[in-house]
Amino acid sequence: MSEEAGFNQPEFNQPESSQPRQDHAPRKRLGAEERREEIIRVTLDLAAKQGVDDVTTQDMAQAMGVTQGAVFRHFPSKDAIWLAVMQWVRDRLMTVLGRAAAKGRDPLDALERMFYAHIDFIAGHPAIPRVLMSEHLHGRSVVLRQLVTEIMLGYEAKIAGLLRDAQQQGMVRSDLDTHAAATLYIGMIQGLVLQTSILRGKRTLAAEAARTFPVFLQAVRPQPEKGVTP
């Protein structure tokens, strides 16, 4: 059965013809959840190295030193692996952002901490933007597309909520369109990721983020009245 099978075509019975690499040391026997976690992490690593579209279950198996059959004992199909990857990203990212926001002294400080926490998260998992924005994956499954949509809308709502809180405290402009500002906030991160990916080696994600976020803050904060020194 093809490794490209979708959710409606589970692949529990994959052939065991592909043998593990002989140069691997004996592997520690992992529990089911640990093995699933390993498959997810290996998939993200491969996506970072060779692109989302080119990752195969054979690649995953070889990277882990197991057979394709071993991979499919934990996931019924390749789409199921990508769904688990998306869920892993959502859970880890939301946890990271939640912890960062909780340390904020005020809504704007929470937004700033979340911004840099997100940048750090991407720096540690460079394949994540490719996975979330992959047209290849979005086209494979409605479920995958819906999950990415939920992640984006939930994130946007969190940002907009903090901006409204800041607005009520007089920390941002009273006329600020918080929805548009939240879209801009997320777009900054996406743009920085794309830029540093293209200009690899010439600019770093952390340095560009440090230059960019203050501009966002300046744009949303109340503007001093003319003739009045802030």
pLDDT tens-place string over residues 71-90: 999 999 998 999 999 999 99
Asked whether the CA dihedral 39, 42, 48, 53 is positive or negative, the reply is negative
Q: Which of 122, 136, 137, 125 is nearest to 190 (CA)?
A: 122
Q: Which tokens is 105 given?
A: 């002294």
Quote the pLDDT of residue 132: 84
How is the chain split into domains, by residue range? 78-220
Quote the pLDDT of residue 14: 44
- Whole-Å CA distances, 187 to 121, 163, 190: 16, 16, 5
Quote the pLDDT of residue 30: 63
User: 127 or 209: whose pLDDT is higher?
Assistant: 209
Residue 197 has pLDDT above 90, yes or no: no
Dihedral pair phi/psi, residue 210, rounded to 5°: -65, -30
Residue 3 has pLDDT above 70, yes or no: no
Element containing residue 106 per DSSP (H, E): none
Rounded-to-5 percentages of helix, strand, coil across the chain: 65, 0, 35
Q: pTM of the predicted model, to two decimals? A: 0.78
Q: Hey, which bits of the chain come out as E strands?
A: none
Q: Which of 61, 25, 29 is nearest to 42 (CA)?
A: 61
Q: Which tokens is 56 given?
A: 């195969």
Looking at CATH, the fold of the domain delimited by 78-220 is given as: Tetracycline Repressor; domain 2 (1.10.357)
Q: 211 burial class (0-12, 13-18, 19+ CB within 10 angstroms)? A: exposed
Quote the pLDDT of residue 229: 55
Contacts of 199 (CB under 8 A, 6+ apart): none
Quote the pLDDT of residue 10: 39
